[in-house]
Amino acid sequence: MGLNEFGLFELIEMVKRGDVSPFDVANDFVAAADRWEPRIGAYIEFYAEDLLAQTRRLTEAGGYESTRFAGLPIAVKDNITVRGRHTTCGSRILAGWSSPYDATVIARLRRDGAVIAGKTNLDEFGMGSSTENSAFGPTRNPWDPTGGSIRQPAAFCGVVGMKPTYGRVSRYGLVAFASSLDQIGPIARNVRDCALVTASISGWDCADATSARVDVPDFEAAVERSPERGFMVGVPWDLLSAGMDPVVADNFKTVIGALESNGVGVVDVALLHSRYAVACYYTIANAEASSNLARFDGVKYGHRARTYDDLEAMITRTRDEGFGDEVKRRILLGTYVLSAGYYDAFYLKAQKVRSLVTADFERAFERCDAVLLPTSPTPAFRFGERTEEPLEMYLSDVFTIPANLAGLPAITLPSGLTPDGMPLGVQLIGRPFAETTVLAGAAALERMIDFKGRPGD
Amino acid sequence: MSIDKRMIDHLETLARIEFTPSEKRLFTLQLERIVGYIKQLHQVDTETAAPAGPAHPREAEAAALDAEATPLRPDDPGTCLDRDAVLDEAPESKDHLFRVPRIIER
């Protein structure tokens, strides 16, 4: 087993015991990237040379054993800025642009001893669910090379993904898409690794006005604990009745069975308005995106058109050349719902529906500690399956979006495989700032499910 | 409230993007479908939705929490971005300024 196949926490323990050095680990990761990248294409830019040079230096210097990440590599999505390196957001409009500053999460990861391994692919400005909208080509799912946020990709790839509470992690240095919805979080092999990274990046940042000045509890300790006696899980059957692939439904029933046989109470909760969550989200998110993406005008950074007669043409041509189709569609929709005559009927209405979605969760949390539901209504779909009709892609978000609208912490973990061998995921959603409850519940569920699948099995 | 060519032209101007004719045709159709979908929000009774004003107790509580939990930082000057680093990455710059086509007619 290569070093790259161990989880983060396990590797940190090995490094701290002196069994391996950070340089040994980095070497293995570079070798793994050489092997897998031609087929998978997970990275827009993999910092192979930097990774080796930096970890060799810190291995020689020593002292890494006392840091949280012990000199190990962490990759970041390419909408998070790293000073002096490219940030593309998966778009031509920023191709070749280097950032003059580090995102807060980068500074925190480095403070805690991590080395940045590179920038990973994304749909352009995060708009999509499969990387089919990346200007740099799609990333292939290692479980099935014909097919390709945080929770959905994690579920489709059989790993763990966590979205913290809105305001828990600083957005300074995250290129904005939808400012009231964006959150940074980890994708990792297991719940404990997610807890480790979330612990590092969480905490108030005065550079982000939406960052919450609240205490950060001990997330790592949370995964060691069993959930409190009387831990109750709520299942929103009304939302699930909107439609689930039978394979997903079967797996979900198995998960519920496992919880019940381990003494966890399972109750029915009503998330009445979550059936409108996709419509609500795509109104609000696109409105905010149309505003946030107005800054890409060819003036200060990124692409600029070559031929134009005046400033207006320079801007309009730059944006047509630089943005892909999905981005343009969303800017158009966002502009429409914010425009005079339509603002009340669409944007304002959506914000009211949003508060109803949040209120549903508040009521649900009177009866349970966490809401449990599948992460996706279907297993991973193939390239091209959802690109004909934009709406179909949006509908795949029906189970993940409600937690975003309500700003709640949510985690996905692998819950099994389909008969075809593709991974499925299940998610837990918690109260605001209750990541410890969500992590404890997820760690317990992870132990119960004991998922052992690997790609290529 | 249907999406026709006039609406797309209007949105194109607001969004400052110059579409090709085939993009206009495609987006008109697609936008029509998406707007048709989001119109379902009109079915939702939002009379009882948390009102915008501070009168509602939950709103007031949330506002108080917000003020404490997301405080403004002190208005103290500090280091900003490195100007040269920023200008090096600009499409065109001159004399420590971003350079763009003429804005004001002679």
Do residue B49 and residue A303 have CB atoms under 8 angstroms apart?
no
Q: What is the pLDDT of residues A313-357, one digit of tens each?
A: 999 999 999 999 999 999 999 999 999 899 989 998 999 999 999
Count Cβ neighbours within 10 Å for each residue of A395-407 and write b for 16 or more, e otherwise: bbbbbbbbbbbbb
In this predicted structure, the answer to whether residue A54 has a pLDDT above a threshold of 60 is yes
Q: How confident is the model at residue A88 (pLDDT cuts 50, 70, 90)?
A: very high
**Whether pLDDT at A226 is above 90:** no
Looking at per-residue pLDDT, the higher value among B78 and A257 belongs to A257
CB contact under 8 Å between B19 and A317, yes or no, is no
On average, the pLDDT of chain A sits at: 93
* A341-400 pLDDT, tens digit each: 999 899 989 999 999 999 999 999 999 999 999 999 998 877 777 777 777 777 888 999
The span from the CA of A334 to the CA of A284, in Å, is 8
Which pLDDT score is estimated for B58? Answer: 45
At A385 the pLDDT is 78
Neighbours of B73 (CB within 10 A): 11
Q: How confident is the model at residue A146 (pLDDT cuts 50, 70, 90)?
A: low
Confidence of residue A68 (pLDDT cuts 50, 70, 90): very high
CA distance B54 to A297: 38
Is there a contact between A223 and A195 (Cβ–Cβ < 8 Å)?
yes
Among B25, B35, B37, B41, which would you mutate to test the A interface (most chain A Cβ atoms within 10 Å of its Cβ)?
B41
Check CB contact under 8 Å for A210 and B85: no
Q: Does the structure show a pLDDT above 50 at A148?
A: no
pLDDT (0 to 100) of residue B64? 55
Mean pLDDT, rounded, for A282-308: 95
Average pLDDT over residues A131-156: 81
Interaxial angle between packed helices A48-61 and A22-40, expressed in degrees from 0 to 180 and rounded to the nearest 10: 170
Q: What's the 3-state SS for A296-334?
A: CCCCCCCCCCCCCCCHHHHHHHHHHHHCCHHHHHHHHHH
B39 pLDDT exceeds 80?
yes
pLDDT number for residue A394: 78
Question: Residue A310: which pLDDT band, with cuts at 50, 70 and 90?
Answer: very high
To the nearest whole Å, the CA of B70 is away from the closest chain A CA by 5
Has this prediction a pTM greater than 0.90?
A: yes
Residues of B in contact with A301 (CB under 8 A): 89-91
Nearest CA in chain B to A322: B17
Tokens of A317: 């041509």
The residue with greater pLDDT, B78 or A199, is: A199
Nearest by Cα to A44 from A133, A138, A121, A141: A121
What is the arithmetic mean of pLDDT over A32-54?
A: 95
- Contact of B67 with chain A, judged by CB distance below 8 Å, is answered with no
